[in-house]
Amino acid sequence: AQSVTQLGSHVSVSEGALVLLRCNYSSSVPPYLFWYVQYPNQGLQLLLKYTTGATLVKGINGFEAEFKKSETSFHLTKPSAHMSDAAEYFCAVTLDTGGFKTIFGAGTRLFVKA
């Protein structure tokens, strides 16, 4: 069965510092991988996705993630944090078997300090 583990329910960085949010998945077949962001009192917004092809994917707001099959990881990074990045981030996985069900991680809340 597929599952998603996000390491760290809370991450705090200083403004301008590197953001690294960790995600590991388990899947018996090649997965499709996603990161979603949820700002306070808003719905989830798709940040980026990996389906096939290049393993380094770029998303909105300067975020990127790299699919590493050997490590079953899909960590999210941003070189320089901005105050507006403070939000909750969810890693998600779906399988290439009709793709009708996506499994989400528990989320990581990002705090950005001035």
List residues near another protein by CB under 8 A. 4, 9, 32, 34, 36, 41-46, 49, 51, 90, 92, 94, 96, 98-107
- Select 3 or 14, whichever has its Cβ closest to another protein: 3
- Select 27 or 94, whichever has its Cβ closest to another protein: 94
CB of 13 to another protein, least distance (A): 21
Note whether 92 and 104 are within 8 A (CB).
yes
| H/E segment holding residue 83 | none
- Select 13 or 37, whichever has its Cβ closest to another protein: 37
Rounded to whole angstroms, the Cα distance separating 35 from 30 reads 17
CB of 54 to another protein, least distance (A): 16
Q: Is the dihedral of CA 80, 65, 70, 102 positive or negative?
A: positive
CB of 101 to another protein, least distance (A): 5
Note whether 1 and 100 are within 8 A (CB).
no
- Select 28 or 40, whichever has its Cβ closest to another protein: 40
Residue 71 sits at φ, ψ, to 5 deg, of -105, 0
CB of 15 to another protein, least distance (A): 26
Three-state secondary structure call for residue 66: strand
Tokens encoding 22? 């960790």
